[in-house]
Amino acid sequence: MQQIRKAACIGAGVIGAGWVARLLYNGIDVAVCDPDPQARRKVEAVCANADRAMKRLTTAPALDPGSLTITRTINDAVQDSGLVVEAVPERLDIKRSVYAKIEAAASSDTLIASSTSGILPSELQADMRHPHRLLVAHPFNPVYLLPLVELVGGKETSPDTIERAREFYTSIGMRPLHIKKEIEAFVADRFLEAVWREALWLVKDGIASTEEIDDAIRFGFGLRWAQMGLFETYRIAGGEAGMEHFLEQFGPCLKWPWTKLMDVPELDDELVALIAGQSDAQSGKYSIRDLERIRDDNLVAIIRALKETGWGAGKTLGDYERKLLESGTARSREHGISSLPLTLERLVPGDLESPMAEAFCLQCFADAREVFLRDSGVGQENGSLAGHFAAAETRIRHVEEISAAESVSVTTHLVSVNSEAVRLFHRLERQQGGLLATCEHLLVHVDAATGATSQPAPHVLDKLNAIAKTHARHSRPHAADQPEG
Amino acid sequence: MQQIRKAACIGAGVIGAGWVARLLYNGIDVAVCDPDPQARRKVEAVCANADRAMKRLTTAPALDPGSLTITRTINDAVQDSGLVVEAVPERLDIKRSVYAKIEAAASSDTLIASSTSGILPSELQADMRHPHRLLVAHPFNPVYLLPLVELVGGKETSPDTIERAREFYTSIGMRPLHIKKEIEAFVADRFLEAVWREALWLVKDGIASTEEIDDAIRFGFGLRWAQMGLFETYRIAGGEAGMEHFLEQFGPCLKWPWTKLMDVPELDDELVALIAGQSDAQSGKYSIRDLERIRDDNLVAIIRALKETGWGAGKTLGDYERKLLESGTARSREHGISSLPLTLERLVPGDLESPMAEAFCLQCFADAREVFLRDSGVGQENGSLAGHFAAAETRIRHVEEISAAESVSVTTHLVSVNSEAVRLFHRLERQQGGLLATCEHLLVHVDAATGATSQPAPHVLDKLNAIAKTHARHSRPHAADQPEG
């Protein structure tokens, strides 16, 4: 597939702006067209959130971010774009008129991806000149963090369009799910809509408040659904007898009056006021901006936790990071030949208790070491090597207390190299200045085959010696920086 | 409330056994009555899973576990029980006959808690002699990990019963949610049932397979629902205009054909075979036991991640840990006067990459240090102190590589104490023997008011000196254990 270097986004609401943030982060230039005079400010606010979240999510080297332009017309936006994202209101007439304007300016093989939550792609593409390149690519808020994107083709959509889209969305860290038959609301939103309708009844009938409903979700099955879905969860519930047993056991419930669905309450002023009032009581103590950050921090923590277990959205993150690492276009983190390499930038999590602060520190140093080895071409990712470097000793000195939510960075000094060991010295500093902690790593080389300590290959030593030579221009770590002998 | 020291569990399927595991972990003796001759084996298997999960979930000191007995009759099981958990099949006639047997032997104020997923408590209690003490306490699988328990009273249930239940379930680490009006399926299961019905249609109509449906959940809204529910999530989606704006924007969708609900497909042989076959293709490579462990590891990681952000199920865990710490009944971890204190037992997570192994190590040592200080009466939890000890230096020496999923423990040696610093030496060892890593901690005392280094109070020094004296019977750390000077 030809790489997409420029995209257009028509419509910059919550979903459009979320797409823009994800595209820019992946090094793609984006032109945005939205009639709102505040469009730039709003998009930039979402991008700031995304940047904050991505710094917490991953240590993989970020690409050079794409550039953002705001255009007056759709025509200006779609020029030279390999992808046009449509994120305008959910009205078929509006969407069709937007496609007409897009087609007037875009080349015939430009992908056109609608963010619609439920309108059939066959209806969207009905009046198009080149309908084969239209598909639905339905994301989930926040678009810059949640991996799922549902891909749905219409009657005229070509298989090649689906395939190009699948490759593209994977390349920007997403988990495309191709829905093979088109139906209204596709798959995920059918579930959301079912739950939403049921929830409206529960509030209207005074069974539960908005807060109680949220608690019924997030303290129970919501935790399960962050990692396994409905069927895998129920397969386990069936126990050793498995899925058939589960179906036999729970089949009869289908006859019971356990939902109110399809029968939908009128969303009249009274119900709207009831819901809005309960929601204020529940969440009104936070601004929307606060809630966004709480949500993002929680999602980052959950996805990182799943990366540790190698499962679901965490596995998607791991695959994406490997791709970034392999990418030849990854921005060098070298600050110029005269500086020590900046091996890490990170935000300290909020709500940091003392033993957590210490673990955060060590994680920074361990990650910085991996980044340094990787960027030096001798890390574990550099596949052909006959072994890897592992820490034999780690000495951390805490200089100042780390505060929650501050920005920190690590520089790494390659102090010495010989056939026995490699000695690194890291400094963790506030980005606004101020040494927080130092770490000395004594690394030994471990043979891939035997798992025993071994000598690194000569070309590995050569590479490291060359780096040590440039680092020698910097003063060796001060005695004050070093742990007492 | 009088503390519950003994409980009975009638029925030991997946839910019953999950309850037993949670109760035992919380130091409550449990008598189980189940006609299955394999009941003990099955309950013990669930308890082993629970034990494994809890060791990963928390470092708070565990209580002495309760004792498990299997009884032949309900009568034997409920003797002297403050709580009777009913977890028998979902048939009103069976449940009513069980209550009659329970009431014949239990005292009139024994709580009787049904695990039913949806039968009304008023119907359950209709024939009871003392119906005021019956309530529904509906948990979610795995019961030993998920905090939610829905509490529902019937017409005859006394407010005092609900209040006692709320206190009790909170005390065993759960998040009770009192549903104030009784309806079939209560709250959470109405959503599960709605999603389940919709999912059956999607599979039957060939829109999506079981695996695709699971992916549509766990890569998207499932991640959101692990931390915020439906309404708080949508409040954010409304943006700065808030909930009313969201309702206006999405109200019209209610008229669209976005679900198939209430109209339920016949769960005939063909549909059962289709679902079971797809589920085998999706998850058949794992045994049910594998899936349980994967699920538990993921849930532990998610709940721990949310503890870091101080939100939702993570906040519930934090509150529970504080309660365990404050509890006077917490088991001393001292191995007898002649041993060094065992400060930590933990399972290494599966799928452990090299920098993660290192972070795991440091976390063990940091946690062991906190446990040591806490058990010595000079930790941060020991409220009245005028300061706390913080690590100034940490020296870790890695001796052997840690393998995923092995059991490890830490012993802590208080090497020296003076008014300037406290020196601890920890050994991380395989529980089957073998030194993995050592850590030397140099701790300084930090004044609570000023944040500056300060001298500990004389009574703090006295406590530590007394411990150092008993530890002096042990040889000081070998030179071989110590990081090179």
Distance (Å) from the alpha carbon of B105 to chain A's nearest alpha carbon:
31
Pick from A291, A309, A358: CB nearest B350 = A309
B286 touches chain A (CB under 8 A): no
Any B CB within 8 A of A403 CB: no
Of B41, B42, B253, which to mutate for an interface test with A (greatest number of A Cβ within 10 Å)?
B253
Across chain A, which has 485 residues, the per-10-residue mean pLDDT values are 88 95 96 96 94 83 90 96 96 96 95 95 97 98 96 98 97 96 92 87 90 95 94 82 73 57 67 83 84 90 88 90 62 46 70 67 85 80 71 89 80 89 91 88 86 85 89 68 44
Do A206 and B181 make contact, defined as CB atoms within 8 angstroms? yes
pTM of the predicted structure, to 2 decimals: 0.79
Touching A: B residues 48-67, CB under 8 Å: none
A117 — alpha (psi -120 to 50), left (phi > 0) or beta? alpha
List the alpha helices (DSSP H) in B263-383. Answer: 269-283, 288-309, 312-326, 354-375
Query: What type of residue sits at position A32?
Result: V
Residues 6+ apart with CB under 8 A from B150: A216, B136, B137, B138, B176, B177, B179, B186, B187, B188
pLDDT tens digits for chain B (485 residues)?
568 999 999 999 999 999 999 999 999 999 999 999 999 999 999 999 999 898 888 877 778 899 999 999 999 999 999 999 999 999 999 999 999 999 999 999 999 999 999 899 999 999 999 999 999 999 999 999 999 999 999 999 999 999 999 999 999 999 999 999 999 889 999 999 889 888 888 888 899 999 999 999 999 999 999 999 989 988 888 776 777 777 777 665 655 555 555 556 677 788 778 888 888 888 888 888 888 888 998 999 999 899 888 899 999 998 888 777 666 434 444 433 346 777 777 767 655 566 667 778 888 888 888 888 888 888 765 655 678 888 889 899 988 888 777 788 888 999 999 888 999 999 998 888 889 999 999 999 888 788 788 888 888 888 899 888 888 877 777 544 444 43
Interface check for A13 against chain B (CB to CB < 8 A): the answer is yes
Residue of B nearest to A388 (CA): B354
| Chain A touched by B92 (CB under 8 Å) | no
With contacts defined as CB-CB under 8 Å, which chain A residues touch B325?
Answer: none
| Residues B137, B148: Cα–Cα separation, whole Å | 10
- A184 in reach of chain B (CB within 8 A): yes
**Residue from A120, A298, A363 to probe the interface with B (highest B Cβ count within 10 Å):** A298
Q: Which of A191, A251, A275 sits opposite B195 (nearest CB)?
A: A191
Best of A205, A225, A280, A282 to mutate (most B CBs within 10 Å, chain B): A225
3-state secondary structure of A385: coil
CB contact under 8 A, A242 and B276: yes
CB–CB contact A184 B485 (8 Å): no
Q: Sort residue A222 into left (φ over 0), alpha (ψ -120 to 50) or beta.
A: alpha
Q: How far is B64 from chain A (nearest CA, A)?
A: 26
Task: Flag if A359 and B354 touch (Cβ within 8 Å).
Answer: no
Sheet hosting strand A387-398, strand order edge to edge: A342-347, A407-417, A422-430, A435-447, A387-398, B387-398, B435-447, B422-430, B407-417, B342-347
Query: Is A272 touching B (CB cutoff 8 A)?
Result: yes
Say how far apart CA A135 and CA A158 lie, in whole Å: 9
Taking a contact as any Cβ pair under 8 Å apart, which residues of chain B between 129 and 158 contact chain A?
140-141, 146-148, 150
Whole-complex ipTM: 0.79
Report the residue of chain A nearest B216, measured CA to CA: A188
